[in-house]
Amino acid sequence: MERLQKFIASSGYTSRRKAEELIKNGKVIVNGEIVTELGTKVNGKEEIIINGELLKKEEKEYYLLNKPREVISAVSDDKNRKTVVDLINTDKRIFPIGRLDYDTTGVLLLTNDGEFANIMMHPNDKIDKVYIAKVRGIIKGDAINKLKNGVIIDGKKCEKCRVKLRKTNIANNTSTVEIVIHEGRNHQVKKMFEAVGFEVLKLKRERVGIFTLDKIPSGSYRKLTPKEISIIYSIKK
């Protein structure tokens, strides 16, 4: 269920503020009844008429982007930096599902389907988030075990997770580590490594659930298939 004004705005009809005005002014009819209450909830199946016109639902779109560095995971930026939405050719009001840092690369999903986004973002054992971190220093078993058991970041213990050393480079004094988490806390991976004394030099998200980068070049994207979308919806059941 969603607030009526939010639902109208996400259909692309108008902004949320204008939708509120329309509701307050008695211009919105839901299933045959004029609604003037702003808190009214809808499930999207109602017949909604605004100013005598049937509200068409915005077609849902779903994208898998290989996010490059130096792009922000937001719909807009007050400093006018490039956003992930700028990389996608659409007239729909899509938004990124979760965030990758400005300097993090890899799998990022975008959509205008709030319900789909909620399923993806809810911490869930069925949706792995697989990161490849290049860290400064040679990481050993003790640090890896601490990460696996859940380190404390921002005063709260992380869940247990899978951690695998992929390679070490003695000459460059770096290690490459695969880490699989199910949560999505702010700067989580960088903070987890910091908690065991390692600085992340590079971070890439290689997979989120069933979504991998395949052969998508950096900065490019593809649409999700109907099958992929229904797999995600089936997680909710």
Smallest distance, ligand URA to C-beta of residue 87, A? 16
Rounded CA-CA distance 48/33 in Å is 9
Dihedral sign from CA coordinates of 40, 41, 46, 51: positive
Q: Taking CB under 6 A as the rule, which mask of x and - marks residues 41-80 in contact with ligand URA?
A: ----------------------------------------
Which of 190, 207, 209, 224 touches ligand URA by CB under 6 A?
A: 190
Which of 158, 203, 208, 232 touches ligand URA by CB under 6 A?
A: 203
Is residue 188 close enough to count as binding ligand URA by CB under 6 A?
Answer: yes
Compare residues 42 and 189 and give the one whose CB is closer to ligand URA. 189
Q: Taking CB under 6 A as the rule, which mask of x and - marks residues 146-185 in contact with ligand URA?
A: ----------------------------------------
Catalytic residue list contains 128 = no
Only segment of 44-52, 115-123, 186-194, 206-214 that touches ligand URA (CB under 6 A): 186-194
Catalytic entry in 77, 86, 91, 101:
101
Compare residues 165 and 180 and give the one whose CB is closer to ligand URA. 180
**Secondary structure (DSSP) of the chain:** -EEHHHHHHHTTSS-HHHHHHHHHTT-EEETTEE---TT-EE-S-S-EEETTEEPPPPPP-EEEEEEPSS-BSSS--TT---BGGGGS--SS--EESS---TT-EEEEEEES-HHHHHHHHS--TTS-EEEEEEEES---HHHHHHHHH--EETTEEPPP-EEEEEEEETTTTEEEEEEEES---TTHHHHHHHHTT--EEEEEEEEETTEE-TTPPTT-EEEPPHHHHHHHHHHH-
Rounded CA-CA distance 60/94 in Å is 9
Is residue 189 close enough to count as binding ligand URA by CB under 6 A?
Answer: yes
Q: What part of residues 98-137 is at the interface with ligand URA (CB under 6 A)?
A: 100-101, 104
Compare residues 29 and 84 and give the one whose CB is closer to ligand URA. 84
Compare residues 49 and 74 and give the one whose CB is closer to ligand URA. 74
Q: Which residues are near ligand URA by CB under 6 A?
A: 100-101, 104, 187-190, 203
Catalytic residue numbers, as ranges: 101
